[in-house]
Structure 1
């Protein structure tokens, strides 16, 4: 499978195509320089302070350098040679030009010694809170550049992957039967060769990412992890304790299975979870929501949730209804009582589907154990 590897915490090395103009690492930079020219390439957030000779001696016509550190004489030469140079921006708690997704260790750096408020994730949220309504075009531009760079990295990571989304409420507590069920679902989907993608936050989202992380190990690993996590059941009142418990699990069993989390600083009071090995974190929630659902090409599972999950159901139903993304994406809603009585999204969804091709792509099931079979049926176009 291209893109995310199911039993690896790191993405596969990005294969370079003949027409690939993006450079996101020193290794790629050296390969391109060895081939003879940087002309027309885009170099993202690579530290080039030790590559002055290469920059001075290589054609950089129409190249673009985004947030790359370099010596002043190298920067002057490549500008004179027809390149655009966007220098690093000091003082930011994030890199707007980043060429890869976040890892949990990056967002939570400093957690163990100094607590969550010292982490890059918390500092980026506080920066967003300070700047989101200041009317400054510069800060809004930085947010947009960052989110576009994240989308680009996400597309590269998921190229060729069969992605299944697992949506559900952030309030689901560790230690509950529903949390354990969501984790088992994530594990089974990952073991079936699918890439699990979630909203990247706590609750049902974390549980599904945890399950994918546990997929390469024996079943006892997940049982032990659930016991550890139950000691810090919710991210309130202490995000620090909640996140530390997750890293305790990760340190006890290194090399877990890969999955994707797509959270947002818009809901910054909800921290990202540490079991999504690749994190595409956005400032703009609307871009995040649409991007998450659009990439779930193997189906979307909706566990019980509240307003956010209801929104995601109909965010996904709309392009299915109009056919704007081609073949309708399978949708499985879990827990009949929740989606027909407590929050009756199912009757409306079924009414929308009645005269459309999406009718054979939706299902309502009672329990998470029924989800894989339901997805298989819907993928074959059989209504349930």
Structure 2
């Protein structure tokens, strides 16, 4: 099994995100001064808080006993208390896991934390509550921080494509084989984290450690619930059945959003960076694809992603342009002719040698390599 691309040891050494980190810091340094403690339950660490210097520390959503809280506040620490009644933790220190977002699926998707967070978002977005918008912003910034920590040092390749690609189709199987090949080559696969082409690429990465026949079997099993409509519950159950039969998959990243609340996250991404703000999610997804992006056939969202990625490549605002591979000549030159415009933008610029159009999905990995991915 491929290991995760980054570990806690790589994050800012001032950040404390687990109880183990807290204990190790207190033991090794004897001080919490200047540290940031993020979403760690400290109700059983009162003695340590009372006897350790906490000046200039920041506690983000850390439950603690009243005497400990009074002491750290008196020393000048900032304490952002937990917010009761939320279906999510705005201060969380780690990305989501599918098991967390889909907890309670046996009672129906509507009861899961993922669905409850979307319902909260819809309600608070409609009433324009400044408190709620601040909580969303804090949550999304925490997710970005966790994503950066996870991917530090990783070579990340994006696979973009539409949510409408149904399980059981040849296109879905092709996208899954692409994800598998990219993962086997040592790249970290990142997608928009939703259904369709996104799920297929995450599934392919997940099955990369297994024999090729496993992916074929998994696709057949998933074909019994081809779409997340009309039942997200049955769609998700089929995915977890695959994961139960083959429990040791490779890691990959899914970066979905509650902005598209009708689209659930797919359970095959090992780490899920789910955002409330779609603009933050879109830019963050593409910015982290340092080994390039493969664009499968899609509609408005995929077209937007092509040119969201082309803009920094055009201006070289992130340094050297990253490879862009568009798959399906007819789709990108006739149905949605994004390729001619992309070619025109790239002409006589350094990104010109970093774009390619291929006919078949099987050609995408080699094209990515030729472009320097």
TM-score under structure 2 length normalisation = 0.98
CA-to-aligned-CA distance 1:132-158 (integer Å, 9 cap, x gap)? 131211000000000000000000000
Matched, 1:357 2:359: no
Could you say which residue in structure 2 is the equivalent of 1:224? 217
Match of 1:56 among 50, 66, 78: 50
Could you say which residue in structure 2 is the equivalent of 1:287? 280
Match of 2:166 among 173, 179, 182: 173
Which structure 2 residues correspond to residues 235-254 of structure 1 after superposition, within 5 A? 235-254=228-247
Match of 2:337 among 340, 344, 365: 344
Could you say which residue in structure 2 is the equivalent of 1:274? 267
1:215 deviation in Å?
Answer: 0.4
Corresponding pairs, count: 372
Matched, 1:257 2:253: no
CA-to-aligned-CA distance 1:333-381 (integer Å, 9 cap, x gap)? 000000000100000000000021100000000111111110111018x
Find the aligned partners of 1:66 and 1:11 in 2 and give their Cα distance.
Answer: 26
Could you say which residue in structure 2 is the equivalent of 1:110? 104
SS at structure 2 position matched to 1:317: helix
CA-to-aligned-CA distance 1:284-333 (integer Å, 9 cap, x gap)? 00000000000000000000000000000000000100111100010000
Could you say which residue in structure 2 is the equivalent of 1:193? 186
Find the aligned partners of 1:12 and 1:320 in 2 and give their Cα distance.
Answer: 26
1:13 deviation in Å?
Answer: 3.7
Find the aligned partners of 2:258 and 2:322 in 1 and give their Cα distance.
Answer: 27
Could you say which residue in structure 2 is the equivalent of 1:332? 325
CA-to-aligned-CA distance 1:144-181 (integer Å, 9 cap, x gap)? 00000000000000000000000001000000000000
Which structure 2 residues correspond to residues 112-191 of structure 1 after superposition, within 5 A? 113-191=106-184
Find the aligned partners of 2:255 and 2:240 in 1 and give their Cα distance.
Answer: 19
Matched, 1:309 2:302: yes
Could you say which residue in structure 1 is the equivalent of 2:206? 213
Find the aligned partners of 1:179 and 1:314 in 2 and give their Cα distance.
Answer: 24
Find the aligned partners of 2:185 and 2:125 in 1 and give their Cα distance.
Answer: 41
CA-to-aligned-CA distance 1:191-246 (integer Å, 9 cap, x gap)? 00000000000000000000000001111111110011000000000000000000
Match of 1:98 among 92, 99, 123: 92
Matched, 1:73 2:57: no
Match of 1:88 among 82, 86, 89: 82
Moved over 3 A (4+): 10-13
Match of 2:368 among 342, 354, 375: 375
1:12 deviation in Å?
Answer: 5.3
RMSD over aligned CA atoms reads: 1.1
SS at structure 2 position matched to 1:363: strand
Find the aligned partners of 1:329 and 1:12 in 2 and give their Cα distance.
Answer: 22
- Structure 1: gaps (5+ residues): 1-5
Q: Note if contact 1:7-1:255 (Cα within 8 Å) is conserved in structure 2.
A: no
SS at structure 2 position matched to 1:65: strand
Q: Note if contact 2:6-2:149 (Cα within 8 Å) is conserved in structure 1.
A: no
Q: Note if contact 2:313-2:321 (Cα within 8 Å) is conserved in structure 1.
A: yes
